[in-house]
Amino acid sequence: MSELAQKREALLTKQKDLREVLAEAKDPSGNLNLDRITSIQGTVEQKQQHIRKLNDECSDLGRACEILAIEEKTVELSARIDGLMEGPYTPGAGLKSLGELYTQSPGFKQRSRGSLGAQYTADLDPRSWIAEQKATMTTAAGWAPQAIRSGVVVPLAARPVQILDLLPMAETSQATVVYMAESTLTSGAAETAEASAYAQSTLVLTETSSPVRKVATFLPTTDEQLDDVPMVQGYINSRLLFLVRQRLDLQVLTGNGTPPNLTGILNVGSIQTQARAGDTAMDAIYKAMVKVMITGRAFPSGHIIHPTDWQNIRLLKDTQGRYIWGSPGDAAPDRLWGLPVAQCDASAAATSVVADFANFTQLVFRRNVDVQIGFVNDDFIKGQKSIRADVRVAFVVYRAAAICTVTGL
């Protein structure tokens, strides 16, 4: 058994232990009462500490599984690519990170490094003052002080990029990502007597595809703006990159699939769903994880939860008003049942997603996020330029059953 399989098995065991303890604490009305727990000896505080210890162990095992899964994927991908390419494989070759795009921009390289300049105070002799002078020199009626901006630019409050970090990424040279999926698998494997006929198995493969789509935006500006403010080029680049990635983050979750939209997670056909009904939010999410494991034959790797729904889980209390996940003074890791939580408000509250993002979803780039400057119409004779940013990408869900939504949170 591989180290990853061992860690996953240990994580499942810890998740089961935590679930059994929480189930034991649930009273007939659905509230949590730690006094009902008999499998843990000690005071209520000691029981609470044991619950938190189980959750911390789940988190540690979940992180270990994530690291080992990435290592296995890297080895597998490198082996595949080395078989198709000459020479060593360099991950991300030809692509630039957002930090590289910023630090290599002309605006960043030409940023001012000088001081603000010396300030001089006139050496006035008080004896030279005119006693009969009546007018008072003030900043309003005299020499107004120079106001120098600090250089700090405060961005407008906007939804951050929240989902992309959960998704594995790859590259393609095609306009469509095409792959083969098993649409039928019928096993005939069985015990067979000597000289008896073998039972037949059936495999049917179906070609499946996901088209590359483009997310783009642009901003017109003048030559003077770019020339006279050294940092403005880098600032515009970084903001346009953010806007493109923010929209891509939204499309991955809610895209309706109608061109030029991607088909987002919530609109993929045949994904599973789990209604909360009379369960606690914790129980409903765990049941969704079990559906991903049993029906989807996958191993959940993360959650997407609306911030208000995560708030209700984090603030969960027992019947005595004590916080289940620790006091407000404790650090609160964004992990649930050992898996990372992406708090995302791109869609409405009350619905969360749990999935095996690591193995059965992928963001495939035809061209990474790119920023260019050009002219539109008569921009040239007006001394204007248009700065554009775009990305061409396909979002692929290889197994819909490896995704489960939880409704009614």
Average the pLDDT over each of 54-68, 187-201, 210-224, 380-394 and give the range with the smallest value: 54-68
Specify the 3-state DSSP secondary structure of 151. coil
Asked if residue 90 has pLDDT above 80, the reply is no
CA distance 301 to 354: 8
Q: Which residue has the higher pLDDT, 300 or 18?
A: 300
Given pLDDT bands bounded at 50, 70 and 90, which one contains residue 45? confident
Per-position DSSP letters for 51-70, written without gaps between them: HHHHHHHHHHHHHHHHHHHH
Given pLDDT bands bounded at 50, 70 and 90, which one contains residue 183? confident
Asked if residue 97 has pLDDT above 70, the reply is no
Give the number of other Cβ atoms within 10 Å of residue 291's Cβ. 21
170 and 146 in contact (C-beta within 8 Å)? no
The answer to whether the Cα torsion of 302, 305, 307, 310 is positive or negative is negative
State residue 130's pLDDT score.
45
Asked if residue 218 has pLDDT above 60, the reply is yes
Per-position DSSP letters for 280-296, written without gaps between them: -HHHHHHHHHHHHHHTS
Given pLDDT bands bounded at 50, 70 and 90, which one contains residue 105? low
Q: Provide the residue type at 58 as one letter.
A: C
Enter the pTM of the model: 0.75
- Mean pLDDT score, 75-83: 65
State residue 155's pLDDT score.
87
Specify the 3-state DSSP secondary structure of 35. helix
State residue 281's pLDDT score.
94
Given pLDDT bands bounded at 50, 70 and 90, which one contains residue 80? low
Given pLDDT bands bounded at 50, 70 and 90, which one contains residue 255? very high
- Mean pLDDT score, 176-194: 93
The answer to whether the Cα torsion of 375, 376, 381, 385 is positive or negative is negative
CA distance 168 to 170: 7
Specify the 3-state DSSP secondary structure of 409. coil
Name the nearest CA neighbour of 290 among 166, 183, 406: 406
State residue 108's pLDDT score.
59
291 and 156 in contact (C-beta within 8 Å)? no
Q: Which residue has the higher pLDDT, 212 or 97?
A: 212
- Mean pLDDT score, 325-342: 83
Share of the chain above pLDDT 90, in %: 50
Domains of the chain and any CATH numbers: 98-107+157-173+213-306+344-409 (3.30.2400.10)
Residue 143 CB contacts under 8 Å (≥ 6 apart), including other chains: 137
Given pLDDT bands bounded at 50, 70 and 90, which one contains residue 403? very high
State residue 38's pLDDT score.
87
Per-position DSSP letters for 294-355, written without gaps between them: HTS-----EEEE-HHHHHHHHT-BBTTS-BTT--TTS---SEETTEEEEE--SS-TTEEEEE
CA distance 253 to 255: 6
State residue 44's pLDDT score.
84
Given pLDDT bands bounded at 50, 70 and 90, which one contains residue 250? very high
Average the pLDDT over each of 118-132, 303-317, 376-390 and give the range with the smallest value: 118-132
Give the number of other Cβ atoms within 10 Å of residue 343's Cβ. 16
Asked if residue 115 has pLDDT above 70, the reply is no
Q: Which residue has the higher pLDDT, 295 or 64?
A: 295
